[in-house]
A and B are shown apart, each in its own frame.
Chain A
Amino acid sequence: MNSHRYRQGPPVWAAVPAVVALAFLVLPLLALAGRADWTTFWSDISSQESLQSLWLSIWTAALSTIVCAVLGLPLAVFIAGLGPRWAAVLRAVTTIPLLLPPMVGGVALLYLLGRNGWLGRSFEAWGWQIPFTSGAVVVAESFVALPFLVIAAESAIRALDRELLDAAATMGASSWQTFRSVTVPIAGPAIAAGLTLTFARAMGEFGATALFAGNAQGVTRTMPLAIYTAFNGAGTTQAAAIAMSLVLFVVALAVLVAARAWRVDSVH
């Protein structure tokens, strides 16, 4: 079925809009690169502020990815095991944060975990504080990135051959053993691709972080916030904003290459 479609080639009517769509995606990035001031590029991206932001972005995104894996994979397995009705409900619940503007997530997190939030109030009493810490960045990033992972992993797990799982069960494997020896190896590449995208989403997070975590150099000012701050004429120069944007572009490319390497289409 697929190979048949490929042999015919893409339909003619789609060619022009497709080229426009591609240009729409690619031209802005070329324009961004065109605006870069290459004479100051290295000093811009190797300034202490840029390096701090980059490092902060990398480790918070990595930690968020781990949080998403620890919480999201079990949720994906759980949803995949449900009947269609409950699976649809839980899938919708997971998808809502994805559809909301991340700013809304930031406000919501503040009302839950902020100093006067439902839970934040108790944390405060124990001397714990989340807003304005790097931990808040991880929380915000995990909140926006988790749905990506759950949806990617759940569809991969659901696509597993039911008979394989049943066979494992009849051979006496526990559900944890089945997960480890059947689910992970077969759905692994798709899950790894999902994790890579989760990392990218966490790295790009802006809205929830700005509202919930704040914007302090070295603590909560991740790359997107540093770019926003520099571009708006506060902090460093606009050239620095462009240079940092290009660094993120390179990171995105690297993520894409990594995600493709995982995918390999060996699943089928």
Chain B
Amino acid sequence: MRARTTAVLAVAALVAAAALALSGCSASPAGTSTPSAADSGPTTSGRLTVYAAASLQTAFDEIAAAFTAANPDVTIDPIDYDGSSTLVTQIEGGAEVDVFASADQANMQKLVDAKLATGETPVFATNTLVVVVGKGNPLHLSSLKDLADPSVQTVLCAAGVPCGTAAHRLLDLAGVTLTPVSEEQNVTAVLTKVESGEADAGIVYSTDAKDAADKVDSFVPPASEVDVGKVVNQYPITVLDGAKHRDVAQAFIDFVTGSQGQSILADLGFGTRSN
């Protein structure tokens, strides 16, 4: 009898583990499905899949909410946020995506070169870098040179990830060489390591620092060291050639580059088309 119970428990545990594994595999939840867009209005109904750079998370969640509020027949799947380079790899691997927003031109160019995005790639926002440190700046860091101190644990994005490419350019311009204790695949991971206190400092976008201002402090490297204005990330956005709902995708991009989208981005600290 006891053996039976144990066996049943073991099977239950295995089933639970399998269920966990399976749910981890599906990228988007099987939530509400909207009726097909075939028979409705010209541009305002359908279902969109959006991939966006990790640094756009707060902005695009707000923009998506505003866009679907204005176009109630449109459903946007929960947006997939990750390092632009990771998202590009997934799109190259065949991910079905309508809209892609990159944190730099280099990663967008990979899709253009691969003939996966042959349409327009308008730049809708810009961003610059800051140094994030623990709340209260316990180590009194104030320059990039301070980060190079071996006792300071600095985390960067990996080279190739937009925030990493930009951080390395900034360090090069400042003539500072440092060995990061970890190189992350997206900017959120850098921020998390500083927020949790595991790392002392990280180089992230000014918008990330602003967004997390209740958990971290930040500073702009002094002008005497480097002009942060020389390293500006341009964020391009595009409708992918494989998009299922090209018209809705274009409407979303028009919304991002339009006044409402731009004002959301500006409020969060992004450089926008007007400034």
> A-side interface residues toward B, CB under 8 Å?
84-85, 88, 95, 99, 101, 110, 114-116, 131-132, 214-217, 219-221, 228-229, 231-235, 238
A212 to B, closest residue via Cβ: B198
CB of B84 to closest CB in A, whole Å: 9
* Also in contact, A234 and B161, with CB within 8 A (given A101-B20, A132-B182, A132-B198): yes
16 A-B pairs with CB atoms under 8 Å apart are: A101-B21, A101-B24, A114-B198, A116-B196, A116-B198, A131-B198, A132-B198, A214-B155, A214-B193, A215-B183, A215-B185, A216-B182, A232-B85, A233-B110, A234-B83, A234-B183
Residues of B within 8 A of A229 (CB): 158, 183, 185
> B-side interface residues toward A, CB under 8 Å?
2, 6, 13, 16-17, 20-21, 24, 83, 85-86, 88-89, 107, 110, 153, 155, 157-161, 164, 179-185, 193, 196-199
CB of B197 to closest CB in A, whole Å: 5
Residues of A within 8 A of B110 (CB): 233
A121 to B, closest residue via Cβ: B197
**10 A-B pairs closest in CB distance:** A214-B182, A234-B160, A234-B158, A233-B85, A132-B181, A232-B86, A99-B17, A116-B197, A234-B161, A232-B89
Residues of A within 8 A of B198 (CB): 110, 114-116, 131-132
Tally of contacts, chain A with chain B, CB under 8 A:
79
* Also in contact, A220 and B182, with CB within 8 A (given A99-B17, A110-B196, A114-B196): yes
Question: Are A84 and B2 closer than 8 Å at their CB atoms?
Answer: yes
Chief secondary structure at chain B's binding surface: mixed
Residues of B within 8 A of A85 (CB): 2
Excluding A99-B16, A99-B17, A215-B183, 11 further A-B contacts by CB distance (< 8 Å) are A84-B2, A110-B198, A115-B198, A214-B155, A214-B181, A216-B183, A229-B185, A231-B89, A232-B160, A234-B158, A238-B89
